[in-house]
């Protein structure tokens, strides 16, 4: 029963918000003074964030939350949503537990608690479930991170995505590999692709191979190894990799398996020109950098990375470091950008109504984000036209928080890349 | 087929199998004595790994040195679980015995998450990258140490059960509960000790795994299943069987890499499990307990 | 009309009228309450009445969901028919499992482990079938219509899931009062004695597992068209198998209303505690509390909460014979 009453309250507040928002500055001129107080404190606008805060991807999920939350704090510190009377943003948190059905139910709860937009959900499966819910409930859903192409292929009207799709990863990844080989005048002959057995890993691995074969590079993919997400032992797989005698390794990992994989490559002395990930977590997370130390040096990863020279990034990263002791990476960076884009849409819509928000989102042209790439603009199907990836490389630096560097494309690069790399066991 | 690869896989499989055996030993012991299946087995192992991890991070104590301490901590945990929960459900129908231990696994797993966060922790210990080479074949030193210690602990447990007073009481209680009560054994306490001992062995196995794989709150479940398979292979309650079952599973999983994608290996393990249950429910080795 | 009839009619009326007063999210919670009550009841048929414990019942949900969706997306067959096909597939697998288990005398924990093994094997195989989406799972197309079993709002799902739950209550009640039901309980109490008295225990067990699998698989069809995303790990995984046995055990194993009562208590609890504790810093706490509650109930109310509910309702219902 109390539930029902709470909802009614909320409806009242929302109507109230619209009134104050629409009235805007006009109210302040009134002689009473009380409305002025109201104008200073319009009811917050709620955005629902659903991320995998528990479960096997919890490390990333919590980073996502932090990215979302930091951006909300940033917007609020800058005076909230101007066109809505300086209304503050409020982030409602949902936990998908890495499960589609839970993600859906959490998103539904957040909508009921007054979220006018949804953001999330890192995993493509969970994002798919929420996308369908967003379509059912007619609430805009901005995917900060989620890579599978299929999600935006369903003709849904309420779904937007900042993150590059798997196809983009495949195409850009292969192009970078080509560039590296050409620039360094090396001639690798054989390569092995590995990926985790989950929607992202499978899709990313297969797409990369598809683009690779299309590119006509004179390198043979001699083995493609898929192992379960959350595997504990890769010694047998690495023995198999060694037997395949590759020059290059293209691993699609998650935190955890990247550590086992690298250590096994070291122990079994697998000679490689380099490790280049087609685009995956597992190589740039602070914990991985710290635990693998020298072993993760020179690993390259084709990811949509932060753009270190951008002022938005520098400001956000400084706060992030202060608050959480780590740096903004691909995922938390996109989580941050996702909120900025949502806030921008809210501001231009000057409304929290779905129709106005959708209209504003479709017209998005948002440059001031912290990532590598041009302004965020959405295609018909909701994908970000300008979603791009960068090649990052882990390079030696006394400060572990500064080891991940953008190396390609050149216009965003912070450092020159090293290739071929020293073998894992020859590093001192 | 590449003979070096095959040899490499066989060696790695056997070495890991020894640790599987130790994990399963605890499960087998608990089942053998009380007839309950410890569905929280892997999660208890993870607890020991965290104890050992923190001793390494905070006191720079190498996992091999903190092995006894971590096992002792899980011994206490096991004792408490048995004393507060398991002793009360021994006479329940089996369906009701399953739930509390499943729930216990859920609690332990999420306590780890709550206290220590979701990170995959894998500090580099002194030996975690050391290797020996026999011609072209690599032997992972931490794996070898883990194997040797796992065998040693198994033998110690065996001697303990055969020779000591408590060990004899445990066997008596396992064979005949009523009889044990009649001759004046405090069966509840013996049960507590048995469960604790089973927990401690799996804890020790976890510590041996620490240099080999990243630690995270959610890894326990997989090892619970591994322990089930091993125990069925070797025979429920059969301690030597657990060791041999562990070796077989380790070997099978490793060598299967030659024929199957990593993602299908478990199909082999589970099919093996079903076949064994159908045709040799007492396990591959030997007679009924 | 006895007082019991009046009481049940009143409860039914309340449930039918409830959506008038609920928002979408609350409706969603009720959908999950009915869903888990239904699945719990389906599991109860096997484990509650015959005592053979299945910890792999997610298997049948998965088969129902995958079969329905595959038929709908590939051949355009409506889920209303597809779910029956899924049901038959589930029955065949269950009969195979049952044949191995009951013929070869696999009982107790061995049976538990065998059910886990079957679910895991199926999960891994489905993970490798490209036509079923492999590791990526299946994204279900959303085309709302009654024929497609897909709806925009939660209201239709509310009434469908309520219908499922009520139908399962009727079905299990009919089983309870049938000869089969009495034999099943006899098997639970003492299988050998039942056999000695001339009960064809093998046949009864096979019937029980087949009915249970069929009912469970229908829930899979519902799941597919409610969540719109199928993944082998979440549909065949052990987490779901565990989730679905909690409610009947807490409510009262082997009783008609146990799974329903369990679901009415645990489902909202899990939703609310997740909502409350999933704020930053307390991740996982709700699952700890969930676990503690499950243990406390088993330790201190081993016959389930139904005992207390009955006692509380005694003044209204009078004596009951349905245990």
The model's pLDDT over A373-427, given as tens digits with 9 standing for 90+, comes to: 889 999 999 999 998 899 999 999 998 888 999 998 888 899 999 989 999 988 8
Q: Are A3 and C26 in contact (CB under 8 A)?
A: yes
pLDDT value of position A256: 84
**What confidence category does residue B85 fall into, taking pLDDT thresholds of 50, 70 and 90?**
very high
User: C50: which 2 tokens?
Assistant: 């015959």
Please tell me if residue B113 touches chain C, with a CB cutoff of 8 Å.
yes
- Chain C CB contacts of A97 below 8 Å: 274
Instruction: Flag the least confident range among A188-202, C190-204, C269-283.
Output: C269-283
Q: Is residue A292 part of a domain?
A: yes
The last residue of one of the domains, among A321, A343, A362, is A362
Q: Do B124 and A56 touch (CB under 8 A)?
A: no
Q: Tell which residue, C286, C261, C222, has the closest CA to residue A106.
A: C286
pLDDT above 90 covers a percentage of chain B that reads 51
pLDDT exceeds cutoff 90 at C59: yes
Exposed / middle / buried, residue A285 (Cβ in 10 Å: 0-12, 13-18, 19+): buried
Q: Where are the alpha helices (DSSP H) in C2-56?
A: 3-17, 24-50
DSSP H helices, chain B, are 3-34, 41-59, 63-81, 87-89, 94-116, 141-163, 165-175, 177-182, 187-209, 220-234, 239-256, 265-279
Partner-chain contact B122 A291, CB within 8 Å? yes
- As given in the structure block, the two tokens for residue A177 are 């590999």
- pLDDT of residue A205 exceeding 60, the answer is yes
Asked if C227 lies within 8 A of A4 by C-beta distance, the reply is no
Whether residue A15 is predicted with pLDDT greater than 90 in this model: the reply is no
Q: Three-state SS for A326?
A: coil
Q: Is the pLDDT of residue C218 over 50?
A: yes
pLDDT of residue A172: 93
- Do A110 and A248 lie in a common domain? no
Average pLDDT over residues B129-155: 90
Closest CA to A145 of A4, A33, A51: A51
For the cut 90, the answer to whether the pLDDT of residue A220 exceeds it is yes
Query: Residue A263 and residue B12: Cβ atoms within 8 Å?
Result: no
Please compute the mean of the pLDDT values over residues A58-77 and round it to a whole number.
90
Q: How far is A284 from chain B (nearest CA, A)?
A: 13
Contact residues on chain A for B213, CB-CB shorter than 8 A: 232-233, 260
pLDDT per position as a tens digit, C76-88: 999 999 999 999 9
Supply angle C-alpha A80, A85, A86, rounded to 5: 15
Q: Tell me the average pLDDT across C278-299.
A: 80
Average pLDDT over residues C2-23: 88
In terms of Cα–Cα distance, which of B181, B246, B186 is closest to B28?
A: B246
Concatenated DSSP letters of C213-268: HHHHHHHHHHHHHHH-EE-HHHHHSHHHHHHHHHHHHHH-TTSSSHHHHHHHHHHH
Rounded Cα distance between C9 and A167, Å, is 57
Mean pLDDT of A91-96: 91
* Interchain CB distance below 8 Å, B110 and A54: yes
pTM over 0.90: no
- Write out the E strands in A182-324: 190-196, 220-227, 248-252, 274-277, 300-303
Q: Which residues of C touch A65 (CB under 8 A)?
A: 280
Regarding whether A220 and A189 lie in a shared domain, the answer is yes
What mean pLDDT is predicted for residues C25-35?
90
Same domain, A185 and A137: no
Tell me which residue of C208, C53, C59 sits closest to C124, measured CA to CA. C59
Give the integer Cα–Cα distance in Å for A338 and A371.
11
Cα–Cα distance for residue pair B102/C269, rounded to 1 Å: 18
In a domain, A25, yes or no: no
Q: Do B110 and C287 touch (CB under 8 A)?
A: yes
More confident residue, B273 or C319: B273
The verdict on A257 and A189 lying in the same domain is yes
Beta carbons of B263 and A227 less than 8 angstroms apart: yes
Question: Residue A19: is its pLDDT beyond 60?
Answer: no
CA atoms within 13 A on the CB side of C185: 13
- Interaxial angle between packed helices B3-34 and A235-243, expressed in degrees from 0 to 180 and rounded to the nearest 10: 170
pLDDT digit string (tens) for C160-182? 999 999 999 999 999 999 999 99
Q: Which residue of B has its CA nearest to A264?
A: B129
Which band of pLDDT confidence, cut at 50, 70 and 90, is reported for residue B1?
low
Number of Cβ within a 10 Å radius of residue A301: 27
Contact (CB, 8 A) for A270 and A238: yes
B80 or C229: which carries more pLDDT confidence?
Answer: B80
> Are A276 and A422 in a shared domain?
yes
In order, the DSSP letters of A327-388 are ---HHHHHHHHHHHHHHHHHHHHTS--HHHHHHHHHT--B---SBSSS-B-B-TTSBBTT--
Give the residue from B65, B78, B73, B16 showing the smallest Cα distance to B48: B73
Q: Name the one residue in this structure whose structure tokens are 């795994």.
A: B209
Residue A409: cis peptide before it, omega within 30 degrees of 0: yes
**Among C208, C13, C213, residue whose Cα is nearest residue C93:** C213
Q: Which of A87, A72, A80 is nearest to A24 (CA)?
A: A87
**Which helix or strand (DSSP H or E) is residue B139 part of?**
strand B137-140
- The shortest CB-CB distance from A267 to any of B129, B217, B218 is to B129
Neighbours of chain B (3+ CB pairs under 8 A): A, C
**pLDDT tens digit string along A310-338?**
899 999 999 888 888 888 888 899 999 99
Q: Cβ contacts of residue A31 below 8 Å, gap of 6+?
A: none
Predicted local confidence at residue C76, as pLDDT: 92
Is residue A236 domain-shared with residue A351, that is, in the same domain?
Answer: no
Q: Domain count for chain A, please give it.
A: 2
Sequence-distant (6+) residues with CB within 8 A of A362 are A378
Angle of helix B239-256 versus helix B265-279 axis, rounded to 10: 140
Higher model confidence: residue B28 or residue A18?
Answer: B28
Neighbouring CB atoms inside 10 A of C223's CB total 25
**Calpha distance A87→A82 (Å, rounded):** 7
Q: What average pLDDT does this structure show over B141-155?
A: 93
Question: Same domain for A190 and A293?
Answer: yes
What confidence category does residue A4 fall into, taking pLDDT thresholds of 50, 70 and 90? very low
Structure confidence at residue A37 (pLDDT): 46
pLDDT score at B204: 95
Q: Could you tell me the domains of chain C?
A: 3-245 (1.10.3470)
CB neighbourhood size of C265 (10 A): 18
Same domain, A139 and A262: no
User: How confident is residue B286, by pLDDT bands cut at 50, 70 and 90?
Assistant: low
- Confidence class of residue C319 from pLDDT cuts 50, 70 and 90? low
Asked if the model's pLDDT at residue A27 lies above 60, the reply is: no
Cβ contacts of B110 on chain C, cutoff 8 Å: 284-285, 287-288, 291
User: Tokens 């002194």 — which residue?
Assistant: B126
- pLDDT reported for residue C99: 95
Answer yes or no: are the C-beta atoms of A204 and A169 closer than 8 Å. Answer: yes
* pLDDT band for position A26 (cuts 50, 70, 90): very low
> For the residues A294-312, what does the mean pLDDT come to?
91
Please report the ipTM that was assigned to this predicted complex.
0.88
Q: Which domain holds residue A137?
A: 44-164+309-362
By residue count, chain B amounts to 289
Would you state the pLDDT for residue A264?
A: 92
A-chain residues near B221 (CB < 8 A): none
Instruction: Identify which of A57, A239, A293 has the shortest CB distance to residue B124.
Output: A293
Domain-located, residue A382? no
Peptide bond just before A121 cis, omega within 30 deg: yes
Strands (E), C177-280: 229-230
Kindly report the average pLDDT of chain B as a whole number.
89
* Distance, CA of A241 to CA of C19 (rounded, Å): 58
Edge-to-edge strand ranges of the sheet holding A89-95: A89-95, A45-51, A115-120, A141-143, A159-161
More confident residue, B77 or C192: B77
pLDDT of residue C217: 97
Question: Over the range A234-259, which residues count as b (16 or more CB within 10 Å of their CB) and which as e?
Answer: bbbbbbbbbbbebbbbbbbbbbbbbb
Cβ–Cβ gap B85/C295 under 8 Å? yes
SS3 category, C306:
helix
Residue where the block lists tokens 């599973």: B249
Centre a 10 Å sphere on the Cβ of residue A368 and count the other Cβ atoms it contains: 13
- Are A181 and A329 part of one and the same domain? no
Residue A175 vs residues A303, A391, A422, C202: alpha-carbon distances, Å: 13, 10, 23, 64
- On whether residue A34 sits in a domain, the answer given is no
Which residue bears the tokens 């299990």? C172
| Touching subunits for chain A (3+ Cβ pairs under 8 A) | B, C
Per-residue pLDDT band for A40 (boundaries 50, 70, 90) equals low
Tell me how far CA of residue B123 lies from CA of A260, A395, B182, C79, in angstroms: 12, 20, 51, 51
Has residue A130 been placed in a domain? Answer: yes
Model pLDDT, residue C22: 86
Q: What is the mean pLDDT of residues C194-203?
A: 90
Same domain, A293 and A270: yes
Residues A43-68, buried b or exposed e (16+ Cβ, 10 A)? bbbbbbbbbbbbbbbbbbbbbbbbbb
Please state the three-class secondary structure of B43-104 as a single string: HHHHHHHHHHHHHHHHHCCCHHHHHHHHHHHHHHHHHHHHHHHHHHHCCCCHHHHHHHHHHH
What is the DSSP secondary structure assignment for residue A89, as one 8-state letter?
Answer: E
- Best probe of the B interface among C117, C126, C184, C277, by most B CBs < 10 A, is C117
One domain for residues A262 and A404: yes
Helix or strand holding residue A194 (H, E): strand A190-196
Which region among A5-14, A251-260, C186-195 has the lowest average model confidence (pLDDT)? A5-14
Q: A229-280: per-residue pLDDT in tens?
A: 888 889 899 999 999 999 999 999 987 899 999 999 999 999 999 999 999 9
**Residue indicated by tokens 């991740």:** C283
Give me the pLDDT at residue C320, please: 52
User: What is the pLDDT, as a whole number, of residue A266?
Assistant: 93
- Region B10-32: what's the mean pLDDT? 93
8 A C-beta contact, residue C244 and residue C235: no
Interhelix angle A354-362/A330-349, rounded to 10 degrees, is 120
For residue A306, the cross-strand partners are A371
Interface of A with B in 61-80 (CB under 8 A): 61-62
- Enter the tokens of residue B228: 């089930």
* CATH label of the domain that carries residue A91: 3.40.50.2300
Which among B180, A237, A7, A184 is positioned nearest to C27, based on CA atoms? Answer: A7
Same domain, A56 and A171: no
Chain C residues near residue A226 by CB distance under 8 angstroms: 135
As given in the structure block, the two tokens for residue C5 are: 């009839």
**DSSP single-letter state for residue B217:** G
Q: How far apart are CA B128 and CA B121, in angstroms?
A: 13
């Amino acid at each position: 029963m109390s539930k029902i009453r709470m909802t009614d309250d909320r409806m009242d507040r929302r109507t109230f918000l619209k009134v104050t928002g629409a009235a805007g500055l006009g109210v302040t001129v009134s002689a009473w003074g009380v409305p002025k107080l109201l104008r200073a404190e319009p009811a917050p606008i709620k955005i629902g964030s659903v991320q995998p805060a528990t479960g096997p991807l919890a490390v990333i999920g919590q980073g996502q939350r932090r990215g979302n939350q930091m951006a909300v704090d940033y917007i609020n510190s800058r005076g909230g949503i101007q066109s809505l009377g300086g209304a503050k943003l409020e982030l409602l948190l949902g936990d998908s537990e890495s499960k589609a059905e839970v993600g859906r139910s959490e998103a539904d709860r957040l909508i009921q608690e007054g979220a006018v937009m949804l953001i999330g959900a890192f995993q493509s499966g969970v994002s798919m479930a929420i996308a369908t819910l967003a379509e059912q409930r007619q609430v805009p859903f901005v995917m900060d991170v989620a890579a599978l192409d299929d999600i935006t292929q369903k003709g849904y009207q309420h779904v937007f995505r900042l993150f590059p799709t798997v196809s983009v990863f495949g195409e850009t990844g292969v192009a970078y590999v080509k560039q590296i080989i050409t620039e360094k005048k090396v001639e690798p002959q054989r390569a092995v692709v590995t990926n985790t057995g989950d929607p992202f890993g499978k899709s990313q691995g297969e797409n990369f191979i598809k683009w690779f074969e299309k590119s006509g590079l004179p390198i043979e993919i001699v083995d493609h190894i898929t192992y379960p997400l959350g595997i504990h032992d890769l010694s047998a797989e690495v023995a198999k990799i060694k037997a395949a005698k590759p020059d290059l390794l293209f691993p699609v990992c998650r935190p955890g398996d990247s550590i086992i994989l690298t250590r096994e490559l070291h122990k079994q002395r697998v000679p490689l020109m380099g490790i280049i990930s087609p685009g995956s977590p597992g190589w740039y997370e602070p914990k991985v950098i710290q635990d693998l130390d020298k072993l993760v040096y020179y690993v390259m990863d084709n990811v949509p990375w932060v753009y270190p020279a951008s002022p938005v990034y520098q400001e956000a990263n400084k706060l992030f470091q202060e608050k959480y002791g780590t740096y903004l990476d691909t995922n938390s960076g996109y989580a941050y950008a996702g909120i900025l884009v949502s806030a921008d849409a809210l501001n231009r819509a000057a409304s929290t109504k779905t129709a106005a928000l959708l209209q504003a989102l479709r017209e998005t042209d948002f440059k001031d984000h912290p990532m590598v790439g041009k302004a965020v603009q959405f295609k018909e199907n909701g994908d970000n036209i300008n979603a791009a990836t960068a090649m990052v490389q882990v390079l030696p630096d006394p400060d572990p928080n500064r080891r991940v560097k953008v190396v390609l494309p050149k216009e965003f690069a912070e450092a020159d890349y090293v290739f071929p790399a020293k073998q894992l066991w020859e590093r001192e | 087929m590449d003979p070096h690869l095959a040899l490499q896989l066989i060696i790695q499989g056997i070495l890991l199998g020894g640790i599987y055996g130790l994990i399963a030993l605890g499960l087998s012991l608990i089942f053998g004595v009380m007839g309950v299946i410890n569905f929280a087995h892997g999660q208890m192992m993870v607890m020991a790994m965290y104890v050992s991890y923190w001793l390494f991070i905070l006191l720079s104590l190498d996992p091999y040195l903190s092995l006894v301490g971590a096992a002792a901590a899980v011994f206490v945990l096991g004792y408490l679980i048995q004393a507060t929960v398991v002793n009360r459900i021994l006479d329940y129908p089996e369906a009701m015995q399953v739930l509390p231990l499943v729930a216990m696994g859920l609690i332990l797993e999420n306590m780890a998450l709550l206290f220590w966060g979701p990170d995959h922790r894998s500090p580099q210990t002194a030996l975690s990258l050391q290797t020996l080479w026999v011609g072209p074949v690599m032997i992972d030193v931490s794996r070898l140490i883990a194997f040797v210690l796992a065998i040693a602990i198994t033998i110690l447990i065996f001697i303990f059960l055969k020779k000591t007073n408590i060990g004899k009481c445990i066997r008596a209680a396992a064979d005949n509960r009523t009889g044990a009560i009649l001759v004046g054994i405090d069966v509840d306490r013996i049960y507590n000790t048995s469960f604790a001992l089973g927990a401690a062995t799996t804890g020790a196995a976890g510590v041996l795994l620490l240099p080999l794989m990243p630690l995270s709150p959610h890894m326990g479940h997989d090892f619970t299943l591994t322990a089930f398979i091993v125990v069925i292979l070797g025979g429920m309650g059969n301690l030597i069987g657990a060791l041999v079952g562990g070796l077989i599973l380790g070997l099978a999983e490793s060598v299967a890499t030659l024929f199957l994608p990593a993602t299908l290996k478990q199909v082999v393990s589970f099919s093996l499990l079903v076949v064994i249950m159908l045709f040799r429910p007492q396990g591959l080795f030997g007679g009924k307990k | 009309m006895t007082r019991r009839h009046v009481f049940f009619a009143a409860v039914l009326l309340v449930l039918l009228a409830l959506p008038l007063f609920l928002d979408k999210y609350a409706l969603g919670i009720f959908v999950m309450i009915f869903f888990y009550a239904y699945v719990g009841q389906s599991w109860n048929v096997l484990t509650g009445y015959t005592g053979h414990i299945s910890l792999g019942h997610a298997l049948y949900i998965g088969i129902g969901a995958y079969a329905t969706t595959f038929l709908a997306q590939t051949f355009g067959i409506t889920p209303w028919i597809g779910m029956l096909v899924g049901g038959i597939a589930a029955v065949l697998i269950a009969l195979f499992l049952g044949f191995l288990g009951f013929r070869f005398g696999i009982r107790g924990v061995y049976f538990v482990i065998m059910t886990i093994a079957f679910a895991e094997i199926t999960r891994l195989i489905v993970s490798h079938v490209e036509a079923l989406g492999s590791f990526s799972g299946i994204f279900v197309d959303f085309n709302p219509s009654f024929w497609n079993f897909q709806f925009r709002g939660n209201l239709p799902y509310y009434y469908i899931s309520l219908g499922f739950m009520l139908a399962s209550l009727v079905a299990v009640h009919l089983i309870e009062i049938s000869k089969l039901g009495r034999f099943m309980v006899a098997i639970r109490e003492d299988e050998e004695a039942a056999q000695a008295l001339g009960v064809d225990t093998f046949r009864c067990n096979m019937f029980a597992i087949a009915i249970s699998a069929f009912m469970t698989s229908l829930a899979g069809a519902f799941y597919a068209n409610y969540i719109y995303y199928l993944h082998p790990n979440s549909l065949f995984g052990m987490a779901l198998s565990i989730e679905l046995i909690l409610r009947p055990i807490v409510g009262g194993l082997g009783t008609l209303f146990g799974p329903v009562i369990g679901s009415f208590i645990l489902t909202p609890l899990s939703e609310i505690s997740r909502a409350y504790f999933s704020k930053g810093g307390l991740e996982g706490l709700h699952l700890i509390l969930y676990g503690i509650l499950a243990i406390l109930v088993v330790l201190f109310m081993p016959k389930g909460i139904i005992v207390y509910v009955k006692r509380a309702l005694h003044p209204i219902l009078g004596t009951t014979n349905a245990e």
